[in-house]
Every structure is written in C-alpha cells, then in structure tokens.
Amino acid sequence: MVRHKLAKREILLAAGCVVLAIGTLTFYIWQQSTLIMLGYRTSRLETSMGVLNEDIRRLETEKASLLSLDKVEQIARDQLQLTNPRQDQIIYEGLPRAEEK
C-alpha cells in the first residue's frame, strides 16, 4: 500500500475549512441563543407592561373618583370643616353685583 504524502497547502486548506466550519457553527449557536434570550426578555417586558397598564387604569379610576365634585365637597365638609360662604364673603370679579343692577 502506497501512502500519499499530503502537501502543506492541502493540510492548511483542510485546517482552514475546519476552522471556518467551527466558526460558522459557533456564530450560529451564539445567534440562536441571543435570539432566545431576547425572546424571553421581550416576554418579561410585555408582562411588566401589562401590569403597568392595569395600574394606570386603576389609578385613573381612583383619580376620577377623587376629583368628582361630590367627593371634593364631602372631604371639604367632613375633613376640613368648611361651610358655604356667607353672601357678604362672595366677591364677583368682572360681573356687576346684584345690588348694582
């Protein structure tokens, strides 16, 4: 049996092909793992965004209930002990008084 001796060029070419194949596979695996990681992160952020949107809806409802005139008047009377103003305490800006008409 006769052995064929490989030339340096053939060895370098084969080694280059192996390195290229390993590099390509490494890049592909890195790319896939990065895509999977970004998918998980996107999913977590979407879940977090849903929770925040629910908080926004809840806070807007609470704001609307606190700003209702009945609620403001109730707080003014109960907690601040405010009463209706007397007629002499009312100042009209830019309108003639009732007695001047």
Place of tokens 């996107």: 42
94 vs 40, which has greater pLDDT? 40
What pLDDT does 92 receive? 81
Domain annotation covers residue 96: no
Cα–Cα dist 8/43, whole Å: 52
Domain annotation covers residue 89: no
Q: Do 83 and 77 contact (CB within 8 A), yes or no?
A: yes
Average pLDDT over residues 33-40: 98
Domain annotation covers residue 21: yes
Domain annotation covers residue 49: yes
Cα–Cα dist 78/74, whole Å: 6
Domain annotation covers residue 1: no
Cα-trace Rg, the chain: 39
Domain annotation covers residue 78: yes
N-terminal to C-terminal alpha carbon distance within the chain: 130
Domain count, the chain: 1
Is the confidence at residue 41, as pLDDT, over 90?
Answer: yes
Is the confidence at residue 22, as pLDDT, over 90?
Answer: yes
Domain annotation covers residue 93: no
What pLDDT does 60 receive? 95
Q: Average pLDDT, whole number, for the chain?
A: 89
Domain annotation covers residue 100: no
Cα–Cα dist 55/29, whole Å: 39
Please tell me whether the overall predicted TM-score, pTM, comes out greater than 0.75 for this model.
Answer: no
Residue 65: which domain range?
8-84
